[in-house]
Amino acid sequence: MFEFPPLSSIYVSAPGDSCCNPLSMGSIKKMVEGEISGIYVLSLMIGKSVIQDTENGFFMDVNEQVSMVCTQLAQDPKLKGGYNAMGFSQGGQFLRAVAQRCPSPPMKNLISIGGQHQGVYGLPRCPGESSHICDMIRKALNSGAYTDLVQKHLVQAQYWHDPLNDDLYKKHSLFLADINQERAVNETYKKNLQLLEKFVMVKFLQDTVVDPVDTEWFGFLKTGQAKETETLQESVLYKEDRLGLAAMEKAGKLVFLSTEGDHLQFTREWFTAHLLPFLH
């Protein structure tokens, strides 16, 4: 996230990654610091160590993670004037929850890189280095994504969106159904999200990790089947403007970007040209 002044930024990583991996989040932090003089970059750690941070990306209650982040931000004096936020993969929807629930310090721009804002209905190629963890997640989701045990202890279940069991999803989803106003309209969420100056969503055109890929632009599968998709603009969420996204688009606050490549695969040149302008 970025503060004005000085500039500052906060990043949240993808599952299987960590805040400080020198080959991923660490390199992004270093690149941004090299491109924007004097910027303050904070890569959020969820837990007390890199190992905990990685594990929590799979197993920690998302609502607790969001609360932890809100506390970290509120206690950082360098962010009191505001910041820009950049979330990678599931970090995109987690930081959106921060924007909706914790307006102080103020988030200026939210950049979601491959985020799953309408959730996922599939885990075709689980990221990360631990294949046994991915196999365990698949089994848990297939056996009962909306059971209390799975919802509370498996991060990916908390944004699992089953279009064939819409009532179950709306009733039992602990995280996604809440931040997407599925059960009721929380006017505070709606008001806070509209405080953003820009909400940037990046979609990867050859994504083999996120299913359906439309979720990266807030689209999803049509309810009641699992083949046809609909755009954000075709959804009930948008038509009833339950989250303020229609008003945001009318005000020019929504930015839809796409890039060739698989999940989170982009060049430094593309990042610099398309995303750095939102961090100044």
Q: Would you please indicate which residues are annotated as catalytic (active-site) residues?
A: 89, 207, 263
- For 201, the token pair is 């969503």
- Measured between alpha carbons, how far is 37 from 25 in angstroms, rounded to an integer? 19
Please give the angle made by the CA atoms of 94, 121 and 170, to the nearest 5 degrees: 70
* 152 three-class SS: helix
- Measured between alpha carbons, how far is 72 from 236 in angstroms, rounded to an integer? 34
Q: Give, for 149, the enclosing helix (H) or strand (E).
A: helix 148-153
Residue of 212, 249, 257 whose CA lies nearest to 233: 249
* 201 three-class SS: strand
Q: Are 194 and 247 in contact (CB under 8 A)?
A: yes
Residue of 174, 166, 172 whose CA lies nearest to 63: 174
Residue of 112, 72, 74 whose CA lies nearest to 94: 112
Q: Which residue has the tokens 């160590």?
A: 49
Other CB atoms within 10 Å distance of the CB of residue 14: 23
- For 242, the token pair is 């339950």
* Residue 89 φ/ψ region, left for φ over 0, alpha for ψ in the -120 to 50 degree band, beta for the rest: left
Residue of 159, 192, 247, 185 whose CA lies nearest to 70: 192
